Structures are given as C-alpha cells and as structure tokens.
Amino acid sequence: MEGHSTLKAFGRVTAIVLIGILFLFPLYWMITMSFKPQSEWNPIGKTIWWPQNPTLDNYKQVLGLTNQNTQFFQASSTDATQPIIHSFIAAGGGTILALVAGVLAAYGIARFRAGGKMLPFQILQLRMFPPVAIIIPLLIMLAYIHLFDTFWGLWLVYGAVTFAFVVWLMRSFFQELPREIGEAAIVDGCSQWGAFFKAVLPNVKGGLAATALFVFILNWSDFVIALVLTTDKTTTAPVFLNSLQSAAAGQEYGPQAALGLILILPPAILGLAIQRYLVRGLTFGAIKR
Amino acid sequence: MASIRLDQLTKDFGGLLAVDHVDVEIEDGTFLALLGPSGCGKTTTMNMIAGLETPTSGEIYFGDRPMSRVPPGKRSVGFVFQNYAIFTHMTVAQNLSFGLRVRKPRPSKTEIDSEVKRVAEVVGLGSMLQRKASRLSVNDMQKVALGRSMIVKPSIFLLDEPFSNLDAAFRAYMRAELKHIQHEIGQTMVYVTHDQVEAMGMADQIAVMNLGELQQFAPPLEIYNRPSNKFVAGFVGSTRINFLPAEKVAVPAPKGTDGGSVTLAIRPEYIGLVDPGSAEATITAKVDLVEPLGATDVIHLSWNRYDIRAIGRPGARPRIGDNIGLVFPFRHLLFFDDQTHEAVNGPYQA
Amino acid sequence: MEAQADIPARQVPPKRRLRGSTALGGRSEKGIAQLLITPGQLLLLFLVGFPAGVAIYISFTDYTATTNYPWYDAYKGWIWFDNYWEALSSGGFWSAIWRTVIVTVLAVGIEFALGLILAFLFLKEFRARGIVMIVFLLPMMVVPAVAGFIFYMIFQTDGPLNAALSFFLDTVLGLTGPINIGWLSDPGIAIYSVTMADIWQWTPLMFLIFLSGLVALPEDQLNQARILGAGFWHQLRYLILPMMKPIILIALIIRTIEVFKIFDSAWLLTRGGPGDATTTISVYLYRQINENYRYGYASAAAIIVLIIVSIFAIRAIRPIEAAQEETFDELITSEEFTGGLSVEEAIAVESRV
C-alpha cells in the first residue's frame, strides 16, 4: 500500500515537472532571446539555448536609450517608448470609461433589476461577436467624426468592448453584498446616491479594484482594435511589435523579445495581484471561487 | 459479520494526539457504543476502523486480519456519517444501488433492482425511489444513508451520531428500529454518540473515551454502577452524580494512594430523603430549587457550599429553603482517589 | 401577514424577498434603475448599436476604401444582396469558417482534457504548490500578440522546437534523421501550429476553473463512495463529473466563444498564410478590409458570421442560465430553508397559510 502511493507521488511529480517545462519554455526562450546579441538570434544550423554573450542592447534599442550611432532609419524603427506610453494611456482611459458606465449599470442590474431579466445575457451575447466584425463600421464612423487614430477613439471603443466584463464582474460583487447595507444608509437619511457612494461602494472596494485591474489587462492586451483604428499617432505596443516583424530590416528577434517582455510585465504583475478573481472574471462571474 | 480488535491504536496529528493507545476487543454481533464528549477521539477512531485515516501506531484487526493496509473499499465496512453525505445529484434508487453498481463484477440489472426494492422496504423508502435525493426531508435522507450502506451487506457497521439531526420523536423511533435490525441480523455495530442516554439504552458494550484515551470498556450497567474513574462516573447518568470530599461526610471510607484522600460519589436516585433531624440522615442540606420533571422531581440542595442533587417524588415535594435529611446508603457509595481519579473499593461494595 | 402568527415559526419557510423589491419605495426605483444603466446604454448604442446599423447599411452596397463619396452616400452603390451571395458561395469564406471550426474543436477539446488532468494533479496539497501553480498560470497572462510572436520564433524551421525534437529523436534515440518540420511554412501543418499556440496559452484557464470546481466538491460524499467500494474511475464517472457539470459546461462554452474569434496569435504567427492555410474567419475579415479594402463585402461576410455565432449563443445561453439557477434551486431545497420538511411538504404548508 505504501509502495503504491510513493509510485503515485513520483508519477505526479514527474508529470507536473514535464508539463511545467512545456509551459515555461516559450517564456524562457523569449526572455533569453531578449538578452542575446544579434549574432545569437538565429545562427544557421545552431540553436543557442543560453545566451553566451548576454547584453542589454536589445532593451536599450527598444527603450530608445541607445547612443550608438546607428542609421537614422534603424534607430527610430525599434524605439518603443512612445508605443508603450500610448498603451498605458489607451488602456487606462478605456478602463476608466468601462468602469464608470459598468459599475453604475451593474449596480442598477443587481439592486434594481434594471433592464429586465434578459439584459445580463444580452450583454453576454455582445461578447460573442468577433471584434473584427464591428471594426469595419467603427473604422468608417470614427474616421468620419475625426476620431480615427486618436485616444478618444480608442477610449470609446475599449470602453464599449470591456463594458460587459465590468457589468458581469461587478454584478456578482454587488449581489454578494446584503441589501441592508444600502437600506440602512437610506434610513439614516442618505439619498440613493449618497447611499451608493458612502455605504455600498466602499464595501466592494476589493472587487472594484480587481475588476479595474482585470479590465486594464484586457485593454492593454488588445491587438486587433488598435491595429485597425490607429496608425502613427497612437500606435500601441502590440501593434508596434507587429510592425517590427514585418519590417524590411529582417527578423529582429532581440528587440522584439525585449519589447515582448516589457509588454507582458504589467499584466503578469497585475494578474498575480488579482489571482483570486481571475476565474470569476474570465467566466463572466458565473464561477466564484 | 466479524469481530473487531483495536490493539494500542494511536493517531497523532503532529501535535494533536487524537487517539492514545486504545485497546478494545469487540465480539462478533456486538452493539458497541463509543461514548464521550466532543473531541474525545471517537470520530477519529471510527475513521481509522473504516480506513479513511491510517493509524500512527497500533493495529486494527477484523477477526484475525490486520486491516491498516487495506483500502476502505475493500474492508466490507458500512459507515453512516453524521451529515449523511447523500449523493444529492442522484435519485434515491441510484443512491441505494451505488454500492452494487461499483462492484466488480457488476451485478445484473434485475439483481440490483430487486436488492434496491428489498432495502427500500426495510428502511421505509418504498414510495420514493425515483425522487431526487436533494429534495428529501431530513428523516428520509437518514433512511437513504442507512439503506445505502446496508445494501452491500457489510461485515461491520459504523454509525457516527446518525440520529442527532432528527427530531426527537423520530430519533426515538429510529433507535428502536436500529437496535431491532442489529439484533435480528446479528450485525456488529459501532455507534458513536455523545449522548449517554442513547448509549446506555442501545449498547451491549460501551467504550467511554475522553481526550483520546479509553476510560472504560464494559456493558452499560457496569459502566453505570461501577464506573472505573471519576470521569466516567460524572459523564454517565441522566442527572449528574454527586461528588463530595469523603472526609467531611460521616461514612466509612477507604484510603487513597499513599494514604491520601478520596472523593465520595453517590447517584441522585440513591439518596434517601428523610426529616432533617432524623437519626438515619447522613447529612442535612437546604433546598435551593425543585425541578419538576413529571414523574420525578430533581431537588437541588446545598450543603456546606457543595451542590447536591437528589430525586424526589411529586407527592412529597419540598419547598425552597426547607432543610432535608439526606440518607447515603453505604452500599451505593462510590469512591475515587483524589490523585489518580481511579475508583477505589469501598468497604461495602459487593 | 397576520395568518402566519398562528403557525409555529419553524414550519414556515422564511419569506423569499424578490430581487428588485425593497421595503423603501416604489416608483423612484424604476427611475433610478434607468438612470444607472443610461451611460452604459449610450456607450453601447453609439459604439455597438449604431455601427451595427452602419454595417448592415454598407453590406448592401459596393462601398470600398477607395469609393470617392462619403459613407452615408453609400446607397449610390446599392447592390442589394450581391455581397451576401458572394460570401455564401465563396470558397474563401467557407474554408475560413471551416478552419476556424477545426481550430476551435481541437483547441477546446485539448485544453479541456489537459486542464482537467492538471487540476487532478494539483488537487492534493504539496509543499511548493502555491509557487508551482503560478508557473502554470503564466501563459494565461501573456498578451496574446506576444504569445504569437514567441511561437513565431519557436516554430521556425531552424528554431528551437525542431532543434529539441532533433535532439531527442535523432541524437538520443536515433529513430529519425534531423527534424525539419515546417511548422509555419507547411500549409498542412500551420493551422495546427496556431492551435498549439492557443492551447499553450489557455490551458491554464481550464486548469484554474476545474481546480476550483474540484476543490469545492463535497469530500464526505467522495469518502462515502470510497467506503462503498468505488475506485477513482467510478468516483470520476458517478460523482466528480456529474457534480462538476455546470462548471464544465461554462468553461467549454466560454472557451469556444473566445477561440472562435482567434486573431492575434494567428496573425502574428503566419499572417493567415502560407496562402490561406491559417486564415481563420477573423483573419479572413481583416484581410478583406486591409488588403482588398472591400468594406461592403466584408460587412456582409461579418454579418453572416454574426448570425452563425448568434445561433450558437442562443443555444449556449441555456446551460449558463441553468447553472446560475441550479444554485438557486439548491438554495430553496436546502434544509435550513425548509426547516427540515421536504420541498413538497414546505410548499403545502405555505399554501395553507
């Protein structure tokens, strides 16, 4: 009996280690690539598993810190500081917009049954449509009102797209709150608004923060919307990464890897912070741990 | 059907010694009550008998066979949990038949169906076989739990406070039913409870436990009349036994270890009530409170800052403040050493 | 309300308060409710509703990026259903749909199985479990575009994947010669490479969902099953999977919805190529916009896709609804709620009041 369970434990550990290696390897590859000098990116006939001459050049290039006297063309083509800043601005603004509209709507749905029984599921249905599908008219419309390639354009679209998540998440948080909290405040003399801001909202602080971070990650990670709706003025980081790939300069793995790593750091850190709420967020509030 | 032997059975949860070297031998067909307060180790002991926990040391024998390496499914044990653990997503019939459906080789559908019907009749669920288990009343869930365990005809039946969630009338009914079934089939049963009335009423043997240690293992009457230590004496008995320091009372008393003092104990129902000044009275006490229970009264008295309880008859109910003479018949006196708390033989015990 | 005073408190189930009702007042509530959802409604109206209308409008025209009149004049190129017929009879459109279906079925299926296996592996506590689990969650937090790029590097014919495979199969085991699979360049394989990238990225989500489901399973019932003789596979079939059904359904539905829309990784891996080999439906639509500039046609195609997805959505909403209701169902049949009576008895009591 005891031998049996040691065998099982050994099998378990082996399986976890093997699958763990599979999961880690792509990240490992990108991280090490970001520290490799150009000669090690893709040498013919060889694969370099561990950077032999690690360097920070890729990062310097990506962050515009290089003071090498490179070609004017090449220097400007890998400096990603602007796109990174743009990503922050676009994701941040979109998140705020989604939060404002979403928290109010979620409260209305949870507390007052606004929009009737079907509204939550209608919002879920929105989520099912491929963004590419509505990109076309959005492109036309935004161009028409001169919001193409602007931050306001991005904020509106990001806000609309992640609004559903905010509603679903915050609705589940509001539902967990006993209604007595708001009612007690009203009995104490607050108006409905006062009750909302002073009594209800402070009690969902945790959920609100988690929702905000979650939506920020979503907006930060967006690719296709920014791809279609921006060109040079508001390019975001993922789009910039894409453009590096098709640049005539060839496959610049190093700087791309460096940019990739920088790109995924905020979501990784934020994601770990809201680990507890991830399942709830990604299943539209249907599954609460 | 099998006998059970617990041999120095111990379970240590790394800091918490839940079961401490318990030695018990249960004959085939016995109804054993594991009695003790919460946390005394009775549930852990049961879990080890069933195979849900492995002992830290010691061994469990079913008949002659050591069981600690045998997985739960192969022990032929039935176990009814305190909260029943009904399979809520299945019907009653599916719950009952579960033990047969997972058996290798799997019995035929007709066999399973007839067994399910038989067991349902025995526990009284015949009309509810297709109902979803989550929609049952508590009483019916209890029956499902019993039937589910019974259908696989286990050698040993374990029950962990199975009736504590039922209402009083049904509880009394189920106790009688269970005892009846056990006696008819001759099934070895281990029944955990903290209710000593239940234990006294149902068991052939009682094992009293406290803080992981076995206090006494004997038939109910012996537990009641000859408790082996102070704990057992105080734990068993519907109205709690009276403890008094032996030297203060004018009765012949033995000496404790190394000549030390002993505590005297007498059960409330053995105390005689006489007039205060009477020569028979061992002591005279004052009435604090009278609890009428219907057929009897519980009379609370105080004497020299000690509380004493006695049983009286409604016809002769004293009033609060009265003085009453209490007679302590010598043959009903129990003595316990003040150091070891073990029972000490008095001069008059049979 | 008065009649209830006669019945002993225990027998009457506590009054269920309807959501949306409150002791404090009536009509103003509807006003507040409407006010609260107005910002959201406006947002959706202008950024989803209106564009949808525009898309429908344009889909009936031959509007392109080079049309020299503004979009609201698109009626000048009205062509009725020509775009729709073209899409419906287009080999390109349907193969894009078909490819998307293949990716979806494969990805969701494998993510499901792998996620379940991982959940079982992590079920029992072990020392470094918290830290190790973070490793397994990392792929999910990677920006999909970056994931696409990472696998672009890895899937190169002279890249690390082939190098590792060569090492094991050739050098170590001597089974084959050096491995030179064209993960991205071979049209027959590229679509599976895209699938693999998605599996890498999203298995952790299934893993998380299933783990939270497994952990919540009632241990008592599983113990009882063990005692009755049920081994692991019996427990899985009769207890674990049935009890996890709602969670499994939700996970499958949500992943299916998301995979169907796949774009980011497909684009960064292969740009839809080689040729058409990895053109999923989203890629197809994007290409129509960005390479052919045929906004009218693309809109028609997009609307057809929306219809297809909506059909799926309607059929899929029901399990999600049911899952939410089931929790409600369990609530009203639970013991505390009915005071020990069965549901039928409780209803009988209440109706007598």
DSSP sequence for A23-77? HHHHHHHHHHHHT--GGGTS-TT---SS-SS--SHHHHHHTT---S---HHHHHH
The pLDDT of residue C134 is above 90: no
Q: Do A159 and C47 touch (CB under 8 A)?
A: yes
Tell me the C-alpha distance between B310 and B78, whole Å: 42
Q: Is B319 on the interface with A (CB under 8 A)?
A: no
Q: Do A271 and C141 touch (CB under 8 A)?
A: yes
Q: Looking at the 3D structure of chain B, how many domains does it have?
A: 2
Q: Which amino acid is at C335?
A: E
> What does residue B8 show for φ and ψ, rounded to 5 degrees?
50, 40
Domain annotation covers residue B349:
no
Helices (H) and strands (E) counted in chain B, each on its own, are: 8, 19
What is the token pair recorded at C258? 């998301």
Give a three-class secondary structure readout of chain C: CHHHHHCCHHHCCCCCCCCCCCCCCCHHHHHHHHHHHHHHHHHHHHHHHHHHHHHHHHHCECCCCCCCCCHHHHHHHECCCHHHHHHHCCHHHHHHHHHHHHHHHHHHHHHHHHHHHHHHHCCCCCCCHHHHHHHHHHHHHCCHHHHHHHHHHHCCCCCHHHHHHHHHHHHHCCCCCCCCCCCCCCHHHHHHHHHHHHHHHHHHHHHHHHHHHHHCCCHHHHHHHHHCCCCHHHHHHHHHHHHCHHHHHHHHHHHHHHHHCCCHHHHHHHCCCCCCCCCCHHHHHHHHHHCCCCHHHHHHHHHHHHHHHHHHHHHHHHHHHHHHHHHHHHHHHCHHHHCCCCHHHHHHHHHHC
B143 and B279 within one domain: no
Q: Is C348 on the interface with A (CB under 8 A)?
A: no
Greatest CA span in chain A, whole angstroms?
77
| pLDDT the model gives residue C320 | 64
The pLDDT of residue C200 is above 90: yes
Instruction: Tell me the three state secondary structure of residue B229.
Output: strand
Q: Which residues of B touch C (CB under 8 A)?
A: 50-52, 71-75, 77-79, 81, 83, 85-90, 98-99, 101-103, 134-140, 148-149, 152, 167
Cα atoms in the 13 Å half-sphere on the side-chain side of C318: 4
| pLDDT the model gives residue A286 | 64
| pLDDT the model gives residue B1 | 63
Tell me the C-alpha distance between C119 and C136, whole Å: 11
For A:11-70, CB contacts with C below 8 A are 12, 15-16, 19-20, 22-24, 26-27, 29-30, 33, 42, 44-45, 47, 49
Q: Do B102 and C344 touch (CB under 8 A)?
A: no
Kindly list the residues from chain A whose CB atom is less than 8 angstroms away from the CB atom of residue C139. 23, 26-27
Q: How confident is the model over C319-335, as pLDDT tens digits?
A: 666 655 554 444 444 44
In the predicted model, what is the mean pLDDT of residues B79-97?
91
The pLDDT of residue C352 is above 80: no
Q: How confident is the model over C158-195, as pLDDT tens digits?
A: 888 888 888 888 777 777 777 788 888 888 889 999 99
Comparing C214 with C336, the larger pLDDT belongs to: C214
Tell me the C-alpha distance between A206 and C260, whole Å: 32
Q: How confident is the model over C229-287, as pLDDT tens digits?
A: 898 899 999 999 998 888 888 888 888 888 988 898 888 888 887 888 888 889 998 88
Decide: A220 and A267 in contact? Cβ < 8 Å.
Answer: yes
| pLDDT the model gives residue A171 | 84
The pLDDT of residue B231 is above 90: yes
The last residue of a domain, from among B180, B205, B233: B233
Comparing C9 with A238, the larger pLDDT belongs to: A238
Q: Is the bond leading into C242 cis (omega within 30 degrees of zero)?
A: no
Kindly list the residues from chain C whose CB atom is less than 8 angstroms away from the CB atom of residue B119. none
Q: Is the bond leading into A51 cis (omega within 30 degrees of zero)?
A: no
What is the token pair recorded at A193? 């608004």
B295 and B160 within one domain: no
Query: Alpha carbon of B150 to those of B76, B154, C161: distances in Å?
Result: 11, 7, 58
Of A4, A226, A182, A195, which Cα lies nearest the Cα of A93? Answer: A226
Fold adopted by C90-293:
MetI-like fold (1.10.3720)
Q: Is A1 on the interface with B (CB under 8 A)?
A: yes
Kindly list the residues from chain B whose CB atom is less than 8 angstroms away from the CB atom of residue C228. 73, 98-99, 102, 148-149, 152
Write the residue in B85, B140, B167 that is nearest to C218 by C-beta: B85
Decide: B205 and B218 in contact? Cβ < 8 Å.
Answer: yes
Write the residue in C227, C338, C343 that is nearest to B79 by C-beta: C227
Q: Which of A1, A2, A5 to mutate to test the interface with B (most CBs of B within 10 A)?
A: A1
Of A238, A288, A252, which Cα lies nearest the Cα of A58? Answer: A252
Tell me the C-alpha distance between B71 and B54, whole Å: 10
For chain A, state the CA radius of gyration: 24
Decide: B343 and B229 in contact? Cβ < 8 Å.
Answer: yes
Q: Going along B203-296, which residue ranges are E strands?
A: 205-210, 213-218, 242-245, 262-266, 272-274, 283-292
Q: Do A260 and C146 touch (CB under 8 A)?
A: yes
Comparing C177 with B209, the larger pLDDT belongs to: B209
Decide: B60 and B39 in contact? Cβ < 8 Å.
Answer: no
Q: Do B152 and C229 touch (CB under 8 A)?
A: yes
pLDDT class of C1 with cuts at 50, 70, 90: very low
Query: Alpha carbon of A214 to those of A284, C211, C327: distances in Å?
Result: 12, 20, 26
Kindly list the residues from chain B whose CB atom is less than 8 angstroms away from the CB atom of residue A2. 69
A146: left (phi over 0), alpha (psi -120 to 50) or beta: left
Q: Is C154 on the interface with A (CB under 8 A)?
A: yes
| pLDDT, mean over chain B | 88
Tell me the C-alpha distance between B143 and C60, whole Å: 68
| pLDDT the model gives residue B138 | 85
The pLDDT of residue B306 is above 70: yes
The pLDDT of residue C15 is above 80: no
Query: Alpha carbon of A7 to those of A4, A13, B51: distances in Å?
Result: 5, 10, 20
B227 and B250 within one domain: no
Domain annotation covers residue B313:
yes
| pLDDT the model gives residue A117 | 65
For A:2-61, CB contacts with B below 8 A are 2
- Of B19-33, C64-78, C236-250, C262-276, least confident by mean pLDDT is C64-78
Of B324, B340, B311, which Cα lies nearest the Cα of B283? Answer: B324
B258 and B200 within one domain: no
Q: Is C328 on the interface with A (CB under 8 A)?
A: no
Kindly list the residues from chain B whose CB atom is less than 8 angstroms away from the CB atom of residue C344. 135
Q: Is A152 on the interface with C (CB under 8 A)?
A: no
Beta bridge partners of B303: B306
| pLDDT the model gives residue B132 | 87
| pLDDT the model gives residue A250 | 58
B174 and B80 within one domain: yes
Domain ranges of chain A: 2-67, 81-282
B261 and B156 within one domain: no
Kindly list the residues from chain A whose CB atom is less than 8 angstroms away from the CB atom of residue C36. 104-105, 107-108, 112, 114
Nearest CA of chain B to the CA of A9: how many Å?
17
What is the H or E stretch that residue B65 is in? strand B65-66
What is the token pair recorded at C5? 């005073």
Q: Specify the CATH number for the domain of residue B300.
A: 2.40.50.140
Kindly list the residues from chain A whose CB atom is less than 8 angstroms away from the CB atom of residue C143. 220-221, 223, 238, 260, 263-264, 267
- Of A167-171, B83-87, C343-347, least confident by mean pLDDT is C343-347
Hunting for tokens 């099912």 — which residue is that? A128
| pLDDT, mean over chain C | 80
Q: Specify the CATH number for the domain of residue B34.
A: 3.40.50.300
**Interface confidence: ipTM more than 0.90:** no
Write the residue in C22, C48, C58 that is nearest to A134 by C-beta: C48
| pLDDT, mean over chain A | 81
| pLDDT the model gives residue C254 | 82
Cβ within 8 Å of residue B172, ≥6 positions away: none
Q: Do B72 and C242 touch (CB under 8 A)?
A: no
Chain B touching partners, 3 or more CB pairs below 8 A: A, C
For the domain covering A81-282, report its CATH number.
Answer: 1.10.3720.10
Percent of residues, chain B, with pLDDT higher than 90: 33
Nearest CA of chain B to the CA of A4: how many Å?
11
Decide: C236 and C115 in contact? Cβ < 8 Å.
Answer: no
Instruction: Tell me the three state secondary structure of residue B237.
Output: coil
The full length of chain A comes to 289
In the predicted model, what is the mean pLDDT of residues C341-349?
52
Nearest CA of chain B to the CA of C304: how many Å?
41
Q: Is A224 on the interface with C (CB under 8 A)?
A: yes
The pLDDT of residue B247 is above 70: yes
Tell me the whole-structure pTM to 2 decimals.
0.81
Structural domain containing residue B338: 239-344
Comparing A116 with C9, the larger pLDDT belongs to: A116
Domain annotation covers residue B350:
no
The pLDDT of residue C21 is above 50: no
Q: Do B81 and C218 touch (CB under 8 A)?
A: no
| pLDDT the model gives residue A71 | 44
Instruction: Tell me the three state secondary structure of residue A147.
Output: coil
Write the residue in C212, C303, C309 that is nearest to A289 by C-beta: C212
| pLDDT the model gives residue A179 | 78
Q: Do B87 and C234 touch (CB under 8 A)?
A: no
Q: Is B74 on the interface with A (CB under 8 A)?
A: no
Q: Is A220 on the interface with C (CB under 8 A)?
A: yes
Residues of chain A with pLDDT under 50: 1-2, 69-75
C181: left (phi over 0), alpha (psi -120 to 50) or beta: beta
Kindly list the residues from chain C whose CB atom is less than 8 angstroms away from the CB atom of residue A271. 137, 140-141
| pLDDT the model gives residue A97 | 93
What is the token pair recorded at B17? 């010694």
Q: Do B85 and C242 touch (CB under 8 A)?
A: no
Tell me the C-alpha distance between B98 and C237, whole Å: 12
B255 and B219 within one domain: no
Nearest CA of chain C to the CA of B252: how many Å?
55
User: Could you count the other beta carbons within 10 Å of the beta carbon of residue A179?
Assistant: 18
Tell me the C-alpha distance between A45 and B156, whole Å: 70
The last residue of a domain, from among B233, B264, B285: B233
Kindly list the residues from chain C whose CB atom is less than 8 angstroms away from the CB atom of residue B85. 218, 220-221, 223-224
Of C89, A226, C55, C91, which Cα lies nearest the Cα of C63? Answer: C55
Q: Which of C35, C149, C165 to mutate to test the interface with A (most CBs of A within 10 A)?
A: C149
The last residue of a domain, from among B233, B262, B290: B233
Tell me the C-alpha distance between A195 and B233, whole Å: 60
Of C228, A185, C5, A31, which Cα lies nearest the Cα of B158? Answer: C228
| pLDDT the model gives residue A164 | 85
B70 and B212 within one domain: yes
Of A254, A265, A226, A249, which Cα lies nearest the Cα of A76? Answer: A249
| pLDDT the model gives residue C114 | 94
